[in-house]
Chains A and B, each alone.
Chain A
C-alpha cells in the first residue's frame, strides 16, 4: 500500500474557510501523513534532513496550498528550494525520488471558467502549473492531474462540504491505489458529479 505525505502550506489558515473545511476531512489513516508546513516552520527555517527523510518514507507527495499569484505560497517554494537538493532529488546522482508521484491540491478564488483560453486569465490551470509539474518530473516523479477547488469565495456550505468529502476520498484512493493515479482518473468524474449535484 502506498504511503501518502500531505504537505500543506497556508500562511493564514485561520482566515481560510475553504482550507479549514478541506483539512477537517483529512482521514486519520496509518498510510496518510499530514504535515502543516507553516505550523512546523513559522521562521522558514526548514529542517532539510527531516523533510528528505519523510519524502523517502512516502510514495505520493501531496502539495496542498492556495494558489497565490499563479504559484505556491512562499514557504512551499522555500521547501522546494531547500529540500529538493542537487545530487539527491535531481542531477546525475539525484535519484532519491524517482518513481514517486506528486499530487497538487489547490484552492483558488477564480471560477473554473476563468482558467481557460477564452477566460479571464487566458490560460488553463494546467498551463499555470507547469513550473510545479516540471519540478516533479525533473526529480523523476509522476505528476498527477491536480485537484482544484475553484471559486472559493462563492462556495456555499454544501458545496464546500462536497469538496471536503471528495478531498478525503482522493487521499484514501491514493493510499489504496498502487499506481498512484487514482487522483488523475477519479477526480474528473467526481468533479462532474459534484457539479451536477449542486445545480
Chain B
C-alpha cells in the first residue's frame, strides 16, 4: 500500500513539475511527460525501477480510451468517407515500410529474412498515443495532415492483429510459448472469422440498443460518479471482449465510439472520460521515458542513435512520398510524415512476441526496444523543428509590400480561428470594407487566405507572442472564433497581456457561455442560439404566420433568452456549484421551459393590435 502511494506521489509529482515547464517552453505536454519519465527513471534519479514496464502495459489503456474518444467525435458517415484513405494510405505505409526495413536489416547483417521481416513489421508501426495527442493538442485533427495521420494509425491498429497471427509463421525454431490469442486457439479458421464478425456486430448492436438506454437509466439516478463508472465500464467491457476474441482493444473501442457518436450522451461520455485518458496517456509517456535503457545507449551511443535516426528517416521518407502522392501540400506533408515518423507502442508488443517466438535474439530485441523508446522521445522534438520550418515557410510567403508599411496598416480587428465560423464573419467584415488580421493554425488555410489577400498569421492564437506580432497591442477588437474548447485559454491570455482589447467570443452552448461569463467576457455569441431561432422563425412562417410577426417573435426570443441566461448564471453562482452535471443540465432545461410558459413576446405589440383596442372600446 505504502509503495503504491509512494509511486503515485513520484509519478504525479514528476508530471506536475515537468509538464507545465515543458508547456511554458513551448515543447508540448508529450515531451514534458517523457522527460518526467526519464528523470524519475532507473537511469536518472532511480525513483522507479523495472516496474516501469508493467506500468506501461497498464497505461496503454490510455490509448484505448483515446481511440474511444476519437470514435466519439467521428460519425459513421465520416468514417465511411475515409475508407479509401484508410485502406490505401494505411496499407501502402505498412507494406512499404516493412519491406524496405526488412531489406535494410539484411544489409546490416541480420541472420535471415524472417527476422528482417518481423523487425520491419514492428518498425512500420507508429505511435497512436504520440501522434494523435500532439495533433489534438494543436487542434489539427481536421486538417489534411490530421486526417491522413488518423487514417494511417487506424490501419495500423487493424493490421496489428494479422501481424500477430503472421508472426508464428516466421518462426523457424519452435516457439517457447504459444501465441496469446485468448481462448480462441481451438477454433478453426472460419469459426474464428464468425466469432470475430459476431463480436464486432455485438459491439455495434450493444452500443445502439444497450448502452444508450443504460445511460438514460444511469442519468436518471443523478449520480455523476455512476455516469463516469458506466462510461468506463463501456470502454473496459468492449476492450475485454476484443481481447477475448483476439482483436485489438483500441480498434474495438474506437468502433464503439463511432456507434455512440450520434447518441445524446456523446458529449457527456467525452467529458467524463477525458481526464482518464489524459492521466493514463501521461503515465504511458512517463513509462516510455523511464524505460529508455541508458546503459545500452551509453555502451554504444553511436550505433543506437544512428539506427534510431536511420529508422526514422526511412519512415519519414516513405510517409512523405505517400503524402506527396495523396497531394498533401508541403507543409501538411511535413506534419504528417514527421508526426508518424516514430516507432510506436505496438512495437513493444510485437517485439516481445517476436522474441518469445525466437525470431529475434535478445540483443536485437533490446536494441529495437531502445530504438522505439528513443524515436518516441525524438518525435516531439522533430515536431517542434517541423513547426518552426512551417512557420518560417508560411511566414516568408507573406507579401513583402505589406510588411514594409505594417505599422500604418495595423488592422483594428483580429479574428482568431478562420474555420467555417471565423471565415463567415471575416467575409462579412471584408464585404463591408473592414480588413481584419486573421490567426489560424491550419497551414493550407493560411496559404489560401494569403493568396486571397488576407493578412494572416500562422500559429496558435492563444500564444501571447503570436498575438503580439499580429498587432494585438494596437488592435481594438479581438474576435474569438476558435473552437469553443480553446476559447477560455485565449480569453485568459488576452485579459493578461492585452486587457484593452474588446473581446467578442464564440461559444457553443450555455455551458460554454457560463464559463466565459465567469471569466468576465461581456460579448458571448452562442452558435446554437441565432441559427436555431432563425430556423424556428421559418417554421412559424411555413405554418402561415405573418413573416413580420414571426421575425419579431424571433428577435424578442433572442433578447429574452440572453437575459434568462444571465439570470440563471447569477443563480448558478449563488449555489456555488460550478460543475455542470447531467442533472444540472436537466434542471436548467426545466426551469427554462417553465419560464417560457410565461413568455409570449408577440403580445407585447399592443400598438398594432386593433383587436385589443376594440375590446377596450367595447367595454366602455
A162 within 8 A of partner (CB): no
- Inter-chain contacts of A43 with B (CB < 8 A): 551
- Inter-chain contacts of A38 with B (CB < 8 A): 546-548
Q: Which one of A10-18, A25-33, A53-61, A83-91 is at the B interface?
A: A10-18
Q: Which of A15, A39, A153 contacts B608 (CB 8 A)?
A: A15
Q: Which of A18, A39, A40, A73 contacts B610 (CB 8 A)?
A: A18
- Inter-chain contacts of A92 with B (CB < 8 A): none
Q: When the two chains form their complex, are residues B609 and A12 in contact, meaning their CB atoms are under 8 A apart? A: yes
Shortest Cβ distance from B613 into A: residue = A153
A42 within 8 A of partner (CB): yes
- Inter-chain contacts of B617 with A (CB < 8 A): 153-154
- Inter-chain contacts of B567 with A (CB < 8 A): none
Q: Give the Cβ gap from A8 to chain B, nearest Cβ, in Å.
A: 12
C-alpha gap A15/B612 in the complex (Å): 8
- Inter-chain contacts of B550 with A (CB < 8 A): 42
Q: When the two chains form their complex, are residues B548 and A11 in contact, meaning their CB atoms are under 8 A apart? A: yes
B614 within 8 A of partner (CB): yes
Q: When the two chains form their complex, are residues A39 and B547 in contact, meaning their CB atoms are under 8 A apart? A: yes
Q: How many residues of A contact B (CB 8 A)?
A: 22
A2 within 8 A of partner (CB): no
- Inter-chain contacts of A16 with B (CB < 8 A): 610-611
Q: Give the Cβ gap from B447 to chain A, nearest Cβ, in Å.
A: 36
Q: When the two chains form their complex, are residues B605 and A12 in contact, meaning their CB atoms are under 8 A apart? A: yes
- Inter-chain contacts of A75 with B (CB < 8 A): 548
- Inter-chain contacts of B549 with A (CB < 8 A): 11-12, 14
A140 within 8 A of partner (CB): no
- Inter-chain contacts of B610 with A (CB < 8 A): 15-18, 66, 109, 152-153
Q: Which of A10, A73, A153 contacts B614 (CB 8 A)?
A: A153
- Inter-chain contacts of B614 with A (CB < 8 A): 17, 153
C-alpha gap A154/B613 in the complex (Å): 11
Q: When the two chains form their complex, are residues A39 and B611 in contact, meaning their CB atoms are under 8 A apart? A: no
Shortest Cβ distance from B607 into A: residue = A68
Given contacts A42-B551, A43-B551, contact A12 B546 (CB under 8 A): yes
Q: Give the Cβ gap from A71 to chain B, nearest Cβ, in Å.
A: 13
Q: Give the Cβ gap from B618 to chain A, nearest Cβ, in Å.
A: 8
Give residues of chain B (98-121) contacting chain A, Cβ–Cβ below 8 Å. none
C-alpha gap A43/B546 in the complex (Å): 12
Give residues of chain A (144-197) contacting chain B, Cβ–Cβ below 8 Å. 152-154
Shortest Cβ distance from B611 into A: residue = A15
B595-620 interface code vs A (CB 8 A; 1 in, 0 out): 00000000001011111111001000
Q: When the two chains form their complex, are residues A17 and B547 in contact, meaning their CB atoms are under 8 A apart? A: no
B186-197 interface code vs A (CB 8 A; 1 in, 0 out): 000000000000
Q: Give the Cβ gap from A120 to chain B, nearest Cβ, in Å.
A: 14
Shortest Cβ distance from A154 into B: residue = B617
C-alpha gap A192/B222 in the complex (Å): 75
C-alpha gap A33/B605 in the complex (Å): 29
Q: Which of A11, A42, A66, A154 contacts B605 (CB 8 A)?
A: A11
Q: When the two chains form their complex, are residues A12 and B613 in contact, meaning their CB atoms are under 8 A apart? A: no
Q: Give the Cβ gap from A93 to chain B, nearest Cβ, in Å.
A: 28
- Inter-chain contacts of B609 with A (CB < 8 A): 12, 15
Given contacts A17-B614, A38-B546, A39-B546, contact A12 B608 (CB under 8 A): yes
Shortest Cβ distance from A39 into B: residue = B547
A121-162 interface code vs B (CB 8 A; 1 in, 0 out): 000000000000000000000000000000011100000000
Shortest Cβ distance from A14 into B: residue = B546
- Inter-chain contacts of B551 with A (CB < 8 A): 42-43
Given contacts A42-B551, A43-B551, contact A13 B613 (CB under 8 A): no
Q: Give the Cβ gap from A11 to chain B, nearest Cβ, in Å.
A: 5
Shortest Cβ distance from A40 into B: residue = B547
- Inter-chain contacts of B552 with A (CB < 8 A): 42
Q: Give the Cβ gap from B83 to chain A, nearest Cβ, in Å.
A: 44
C-alpha gap A38/B546 in the complex (Å): 8
Shortest Cβ distance from B541 into A: residue = A42
- Inter-chain contacts of A73 with B (CB < 8 A): 608
Q: Give the Cβ gap from A185 to chain B, nearest Cβ, in Å.
A: 30
Q: Give the Cβ gap from A40 to chain B, nearest Cβ, in Å.
A: 8
Shortest Cβ distance from B545 into A: residue = A14
Q: When the two chains form their complex, are residues B608 and A11 in contact, meaning their CB atoms are under 8 A apart? A: yes
- Inter-chain contacts of A152 with B (CB < 8 A): 610
Q: Give the Cβ gap from A173 to chain B, nearest Cβ, in Å.
A: 27
- Inter-chain contacts of A15 with B (CB < 8 A): 608-612
Interface centre among B548, B551, B552, B617 (most CB of A within 10 A): B548
Shortest Cβ distance from A42 into B: residue = B551
Shortest Cβ distance from B609 into A: residue = A15
Q: When the two chains form their complex, are residues B548 and A42 in contact, meaning their CB atoms are under 8 A apart? A: yes
Q: Give the Cβ gap from A109 to chain B, nearest Cβ, in Å.
A: 7
Give residues of chain B (526-583) contacting chain A, Cβ–Cβ below 8 Å. 545-552
Shortest Cβ distance from A37 into B: residue = B548
Q: Give the Cβ gap from A154 to chain B, nearest Cβ, in Å.
A: 7
Interface centre among A15, A16, A73 (most CB of B within 10 A): A15
Shortest Cβ distance from A107 into B: residue = B610
C-alpha gap A75/B545 in the complex (Å): 18
Shortest Cβ distance from A109 into B: residue = B613
Q: When the two chains form their complex, are residues B547 and A42 in contact, meaning their CB atoms are under 8 A apart? A: yes
- Inter-chain contacts of B546 with A (CB < 8 A): 12-14, 38-39
Shortest Cβ distance from B554 into A: residue = A42
C-alpha gap A38/B547 in the complex (Å): 7
Shortest Cβ distance from B555 into A: residue = A43
- Inter-chain contacts of A13 with B (CB < 8 A): 546
Given contacts A12-B605, A12-B608, A15-B608, contact A39 B613 (CB under 8 A): no
Shortest Cβ distance from A38 into B: residue = B548
Interface centre among A16, A66, A153 (most CB of B within 10 A): A153
C-alpha gap A75/B552 in the complex (Å): 14
Q: Give the Cβ gap from B96 to chain A, nearest Cβ, in Å.
A: 58
Shortest Cβ distance from B550 into A: residue = A42
- Inter-chain contacts of A154 with B (CB < 8 A): 617
Shortest Cβ distance from B552 into A: residue = A42
C-alpha gap A11/B608 in the complex (Å): 7
Shortest Cβ distance from A16 into B: residue = B610
C-alpha gap A42/B541 in the complex (Å): 11
Shortest Cβ distance from A13 into B: residue = B546
A67-100 interface code vs B (CB 8 A; 1 in, 0 out): 0100001010000000000000000000000000
Q: Give the Cβ gap from B604 to chain A, nearest Cβ, in Å.
A: 11
Q: Give the Cβ gap from A49 to chain B, nearest Cβ, in Å.
A: 18
C-alpha gap A196/B552 in the complex (Å): 42
Smallest CB-CB A-B distances: 6 pairs: A42-B551, A12-B608, A38-B548, A42-B547, A42-B548, A15-B609
CB-defined A-B contacts under 8 Å, sample of 30:
A11-B608, A12-B549, A12-B608, A12-B609, A13-B546, A14-B545, A14-B546, A14-B549, A15-B609, A15-B610, A15-B611, A15-B612, A16-B610, A38-B546, A38-B547, A38-B548, A39-B547, A39-B548, A42-B548, A42-B550, A42-B552, A68-B608, A73-B608, A75-B548, A109-B610, A109-B613, A152-B610, A153-B614, A153-B617, A154-B617
Sample of 10 more A-B contacts, CB < 8 Å, known A38-B547, A42-B551, A43-B551: A11-B608, A12-B549, A12-B609, A16-B611, A18-B610, A38-B548, A39-B546, A66-B610, A153-B610, A153-B617
Interface, chain A (partner B; CB < 8 A)? 10-18, 38-40, 42-43, 66, 68, 73, 75, 109, 152-154
